[in-house]
């Protein structure tokens, strides 16, 4: 059975959502961020040398990086959440999978960390805002004529990019991006997404007390 090493308030929630969509048996092994530093506990280093989450174990394999995890779960257990391997769409699908943790995550996290840090920057602050707006506009435009990133069906592309969309929504930066907002409302209404929210809250000691 798949075991998900899940850190509270993290990207790992997208893997819970995926596992719920895939409807396969799995087990969550929960970890809590340090209350002062927000860092992961050292115990995660016993699972993978980077000590980050998500990480899964499946059939004796340890898999880190959410993109690789999403790819693995979908290829092995939920092929309906991706286009056919030999289709034209497949390359676009792969681009969206990688986009979430590269082009989109960098400016989003830069922006977030700079705000938390509060220090004066030379060019970085302006760069982060400009880049973030550019990737959000790209995502928004791509959703203009479709419900989901790959068309009219949910795929790993939506699951990977949900971390970006949720984070942006929580900062209140969403208003100029109506298509992204529509997409967010759509995914939030899915039973598997609602279940992932419940499970995340259940395994987060800062919300369950
Ligand atoms: N690119 C990696 C990023 C993994 C990552 O940075 N995870 C964060 C949680 S969102 C983490 O474990 N942070 C705790 C720490 O750095 O101590 C992925 O997509 O899995």
Q: What per-residue confidence (pLDDT) applies to 173?
A: 65
Q: Which residue puts its alpha carbon closest to atom 20 of ligand 1? A: 65
Ligand 1 in contact with 52 (CB < 6 A)? yes
Structure-token pair, residue 160 = 């990977």
C-beta of residue 4 within 8 angstroms of C-beta of residue 58: no
**Residue 204 to residue 6: CA distance in whole angstroms:** 10
What count of other Cβ atoms lies within 10 Å of the Cβ of residue 94? Answer: 16
- pLDDT for 170: 84
Ligand 1 pocket residue status of 39, Cβ below 6 Å? yes
Atom of ligand 1 nearest to the CA of 67: 19
Q: Which of 14, 31, 46, 53 to mutate to test the pocket of ligand 1 (most atoms within 8 A of CB)?
A: 53
What pairing do the DSSP bridges indicate for beta strands 55-58 and 2-7? antiparallel
Pocket test for ligand 1, best of 4, 11, 33, 71 (most atoms within 8 A of CB): 11
Instruction: Domain ranges for the chain, please list them.
Output: 2-81, 89-192
CB 200: neighbour CB atoms within 10 A?
20
pTM over 0.85: yes
Q: What is the pLDDT of residues 57-79, one digit of tens each?
A: 999 999 999 999 999 999 999 99
Q: What percent of the chain stands above pLDDT 90?
A: 85
d(CA 54, CA 4): 7
The arrangement of secondary structure in 89-192, i.e. its CATH architecture, is Up-down Bundle (1.20)
Position 208 pLDDT exceeds 80: no
Q: Which atom of ligand 1 is nearest to the CA of 11?
A: 10
For the chain, the residue count is 209
CATH fourth-level superfamily of 2-81: Glutaredoxin (3.40.30.10)
């Amino acid at each position: 059975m798949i075991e998900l090493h899940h850190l509270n308030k993290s990207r790992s929630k997208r893997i819970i959502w995926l596992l719920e969509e895939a409807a396969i048996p799995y087990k969550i092994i929960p970890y809590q961020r340090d209350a002062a530093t927000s860092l992961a506990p050292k115990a995660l280093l016993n699972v993978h040398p980077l000590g980050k989450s998500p990480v899964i174990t499946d059939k004796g394999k340890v898999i880190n990086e959410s993109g690789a995890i999403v790819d693995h779960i979908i290829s092995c257990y939920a092929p309906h959440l991706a286009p056919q391997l030999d289709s034209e769409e497949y390359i676009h699908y792969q681009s969206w999978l990688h986009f979430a943790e590269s082009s989109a995550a960098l400016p989003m996290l830069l922006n977030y960390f700079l705000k938390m840090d509060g220090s004066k920057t030379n060019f970085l602050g302006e760069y982060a805002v400009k880049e973030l707006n550019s990737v959000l506009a790209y995502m928004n435009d791509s959703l203009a004529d479709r419900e989901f990133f790959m068309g009219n069906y949910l795929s790993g592309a939506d699951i990977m990019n949900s971390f970006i969309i949720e984070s942006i929504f929580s900062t209140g930066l969403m208003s100029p991006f109506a298509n992204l907002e529509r997409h967010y409302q759509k995914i939030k209404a899915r039973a598997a997404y609602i279940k992932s929210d419940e499970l995340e809250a259940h395994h987060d000691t800062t919300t369950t007390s």
